[in-house]
Structure 1
């Protein structure tokens, strides 16, 4: 998420960075990809980047944003926790029924009435917290509007911190980096990696800042190249959108039918522990159905569909107009400074150099 007035750690405004610069901060150091936006590594003619963050891409613009991925699993996990706690309470009531002298129904009601109200209150609060987190994360996701990169205008549009007012900034002024932070657990030294991007505010006095944890420097480079190759490279090098499996009821039904059809065809075992293939045995198929019943069947997928719809808000009319393709004669061109610097860094890469030592060798 972008946050305002958080760029002081890297001293972005007081000392504007350059592509290839290494800058130390309190817990580590950062290597900058821009400005001006430079390649993160050597690009071969057939090099392309695949990204699941590409929501839409065409000749005019590309949208980068979060997918509604994992929401169904989050709801399933929450329901399983709620129902597991409910089963514990039910077992207590059943135990009361077996230990009470009288009819089982009377014993069950007696056990229900004698269980302390704290247990009921805890169960209600626990269920409420689970659903509060579920709904809150859905609305948090909906507030994360995608970043739109307009290739022909060479501009970037973003809605900072869930604002309804878009910010448009020049592409070549975007600051981006990968940061390596080191910390200790007492016995081990740990390194964490963060991809960062800062978009200038309209008044030019500060930045809206994006930080995303990544697994490695390579992943940060791929994130950057997804944006840069679309904006600055010919179409044959544009990034590709990775296939995305939508978590909805249609997907659940199709998967369930596939598993059932495979199970009927056989061969079928009585017991196996290959839970990645529910059709492998009676036991794994029973486990598959028990899991989904405990997780409230299709409700998690309905929540996932609802969350996905929350994010599909209509764009303001001025941004719809801004997003339209331009006649080729009106396309903005890369600056002479960017083209000259890119030519130098490509020679630097061809000679075996890296982005991190570009500043020390550039002409």
Structure 2
């Protein structure tokens, strides 16, 4: 079962082209499936929301959050939903904020990528966690609480598998999307609408008052913290 899911996920990386955000055109390109004609969605018509639910396992009931990005096909009216699993409501909002900041303010607005040592799932992070466990817990607890458990979990094998998957060749964009992605002269760059500029100013005012995007949209989730 798990092998099937793993193989299916790896295959989707090769057959399902990712979406592409174009700052200069203020559009998003999507290709429903490999070989299909691309669709272009205006940036200000992109739908973003967060789904909240419960994940029931044999051990516990865990909160589950997903960032959902909706791209509406102007011809059919259908919405293609893309989901990004997140550990918390704030993490989902942060994922969207990174996309929004890139589109509205440019790459300079994004935080610097973290060192591998601080990126969960990497071999460097694994060994940093191991050393921290060894330094902060008694020897027996380190052996049976970390070494013993991680040995049964494959040690660093999951990290290497994750790195292998992340470096697999991705599906290529069609030529039409590659042409659409070419830089435009500065005088041809699309500009944000007045409505968006007004709302952005309102959000910044909320930030200046020490509040968050959740406060602006009056979101109240017990799990938000």
Any conservation in 2 of the 1:230–1:239 contact (CA below 8 Å)? no
Q: TM-score, structure 2 length as denominator? A: 0.64
**Equivalent in the alignment of 2:130:** none
**Equivalent in the alignment of 1:150:** 22
Deviations along 1:53-99, whole A, 9 cap, x unmatched?
A: xxxxxxxxxxxxxxxxxxxxxxxxxxxxxxxxxxxxxxxxxxxxxxx
**Equivalent in the alignment of 1:315:** 173
Rg larger in structure: 1
Any conservation in 1 of the 2:68–2:81 contact (CA below 8 Å)? yes
**Equivalent in the alignment of 1:97:** none
- Partners of 1:338 and 1:349 in 2: how far apart? 16
- Partners of 1:353 and 1:133 in 2: how far apart? 41
Q: Which runs of 5+ in 1 are unaligned?
A: 1-128, 246-272, 278-286
CA drift of 1:359 comes to: 5.1
- Partners of 2:27 and 2:178 in 1: how far apart? 14
Q: For 1:344, which of 177, 188, 202 is the aligned residue?
A: 202
CA drift of 1:232 comes to: 0.3
CA drift of 1:200 comes to: 1.0
**Residue 225 (1) aligns with residue 97 (2):** yes
Q: For 1:208, which of 80, 86, 103 is the aligned residue?
A: 80
CA drift of 1:226 comes to: 1.9
SS of equivalent residue, structure 2 residue 205: helix
Q: For 2:188, which of 308, 317, 330 is the aligned residue?
A: 330
How many aligned residue pairs are there?
183
**Equivalent in the alignment of 1:238:** 110
- Partners of 1:132 and 1:344 in 2: how far apart? 48
SS of equivalent residue, structure 1 residue 212: strand
**Residue 353 (1) aligns with residue 225 (2):** no
Q: TM-score, structure 1 length as denominator? A: 0.42
Task: Pick 1 or 2: higher relative contact order, CA cutoff 8 A, min separation 6.
Answer: 1
Q: Which runs of 5+ in 2 are unaligned?
A: 118-142, 219-225
**Equivalent in the alignment of 1:191:** 63
